[in-house]
Amino acid sequence: MELKIIDKTEDEMHIEIKGETHTLLNMLKSVLLDDERVQIATYDMKHVSISDPILFVNTDGTDPIIVVKDALNILMSQCDEFLSVFSKAVDI
């Protein structure tokens, strides 16, 4: 995975995320939209095999880098919780 910040202001950011698909971007977008600091969170992907997704985040003035980092921490926590519950369910 490679990241490239295409554009950033104090309340907006466009990030190209090379090598990722709808799977990660949908989860990240969902977590971002649950954040009250986020006004818009979406991404654009023309076609998985010919285009890398571009994530767009617009905030209430909060630095979008902080907001995306917070969302990623929440997403990691959710994955850790799922792994724990799943492991218990299958007795591993």
**For 26-71, what is each residue's pLDDT tens digit?**
999 999 999 999 999 999 998 767 789 999 999 999 999 999 999 9
Beta carbons of 8 and 64 less than 8 angstroms apart: yes
The number of residues making up the chain comes to: 92
Domain ranges across the chain: 2-89
Q: What is the pTM of this model?
A: 0.89
pLDDT at residue 2 tops 80: yes
**Domain 2-89 fold:** Gyrase A; domain 2 (3.30.1360)
pLDDT confidence tier of residue 88, bands split at 50, 70 and 90: very high
